[in-house]
Chains A and B, each alone.
Chain A
Amino acid sequence: MPKRKPEKSIDENDVRIDGRKLNELRPVKIEVGVLGNADGSAYIEQGKNKILAAVYGPKEVHPRHLALPDRALLRCRYHMAPFSVEERKSPAPSRREVELSKVIREALEPSVFVEYYPQTSVDIFIEVLQADGGTRCAGITVASLALADAGIPMRDLVVACAAGKAEGRLLVDLTDLEDKGGEADVPLALMPNLNAITLLQMDGGLTIDEFEKVVNLAIDGCRSLYSIQKETLKSKYIAVKEAVEE
């Protein structure tokens, strides 16, 4: 998609249009176990992003011939609701959604012990209800929680965050405006305990030095979100424990 003409979104004091500093994440709210039918589910609000994830499985694969003999088949669908963006988006999967479904699946796959459940499928659905930049990252973060909520054994949670360059400055967690008017965007997903990068994309223009700085910004952003992910998983149980054990 061609970039819009940039409006100035960062002032002389390096304060962004929404009041954030360059290395500050948007406010985040996450909930786990929000859907009744799914085996696992989670919901995230990050800035204006509102994204829902659901997991079904492991279960028998349909159609049967897709089953893998030695592992579970991981399938992922990233989809944006028609009303999620400013100009209505057609419900049919766009080429971008097809690519994102693939890279998101590849970001989550290293975390799941697929070898434990041969001949089954684990289906992940990510629905973007409202979009404002960084939806693939928020989608990965919330899908990983849905997998944990489904009781699927994992090596680590996967958490994702984007960093980039806009108006000459290196910054983290770009909004749609900052991305469209910016010089570079680097979405990254991480399994923090294993220091494993499972998603890495880049578009724009960065020198090698700038790239290294931006990647580190993204990794720092990931680690902050990771603590929130873990707290969210535990919070339901902690609340019950505190309530009953007095």
Chain B
Amino acid sequence: MSSLPMIVRVKQKRIAELISSGMRLDGRGLTDYREVKLEVGLIERAEGSARMRLGKTEVMVGTKIEVGQPFPDVPNEGVLTVNAELVPLASPSFEPGPPDENSIELARIVDRGIRESKAIELEKLCIEPGKKVFVVFIDIYVLNHDGNLIDASAMAALAALLNTKMFNYEVESGEIKVKPGYTPLPIRNFPIAVTFAKINDKLVVDPWLEEEQVMETRLTITMDKDGKICAMQKGGHGYFTLQQVLEAVKIAREKTEELRKLVVKG
């Protein structure tokens, strides 16, 4: 990955100092998220879509549903596949080209949250066991990078899934015939990711871009609707102590519930 524009050292120090005394440069508390703005259903051609703004970070997610083959060891289940693109217009540090390690990691973290929480009822996506199933494509499109792409992408992906409608169909002599009407994609769980940055030995949630440039390391914790941890990922070149990990887990419990209410309405 190409390097981000160098953050001025004086500002770097300021951010770190403030955090040591429990405050952040943008006035937030250590466990406060930026403002969340969520819109769904803007892309008609997609089966489902969502546009999430987390502060100035902007991520769009579109879902597409196609017919495909199941995996051989789970012949009765639909297939989930998640992809992420850090498109060049989102940041001076993103370059055009095949997915790099950052976009692959982002996609796989979001994937794990949805897959391990069994959010999509994949068993209900079987058309013909062993032969035909529905494949759900989740494509994450980062439009503006101002920090914490993981949480924004995970929330946008969940919102897009909740917005996803599948066409009705029946199977006639091995052929799929489309019928009028739509059914919402069967969703039974609502995973939410909370990412922590470690700066000067303190944990802050939802790091914005400049905090990310100062942080030593990050920890993402994904929890489902019952408060169970379904995915976790440490990133960055620093480390955490066990105490810090357990503290983060406690904070994540609270924050995932808060954020879930913004994504899952009614």
Contact = CB atoms under 8 A, between A and B. Distances in A.
Contact of A4 (B73, B115, B224, B242): B73
A103 B233 CA distance: 9
A186 interface: yes
B128 interface: no
B232 A186 contact: yes
Contacts of B182: none
Q: Is the interface of B mostly helix, strand, loop or mixed?
A: mixed
A191 B239 contact: yes
Given A197-B240, A197-B241, A102 B101 contact: yes
A207 B249 CA distance: 10
B231 A202 contact: yes
Contacts of B241: 195-197
Contact of B228 (A101, A102, A207, A212): A207
A106 B234 contact: yes
Given A99-B105, A110-B239, A198 B227 contact: no
Given A4-B73, A199-B234, A211-B249, A206 B228 contact: yes
A201 B239 contact: no
A95 interface: yes
Interface string B90-102: 0000000001011
Contacts of A219: 242
A199 B237 CA distance: 10
A208 interface: yes
Contacts of A106: 217, 234-237
B231 to A, nearest CB: 6
A114 B246 CA distance: 29
Contacts of A5: 73-74
A202 B229 contact: yes
A98 interface: yes
A144 B229 CA distance: 29
Interface in A185-228: 186, 191, 194-208, 211-212, 215-216, 219
Interface of A: 2-5, 95-96, 98-99, 101-103, 106, 109-110, 186, 191, 194-208, 211-212, 215-216, 219
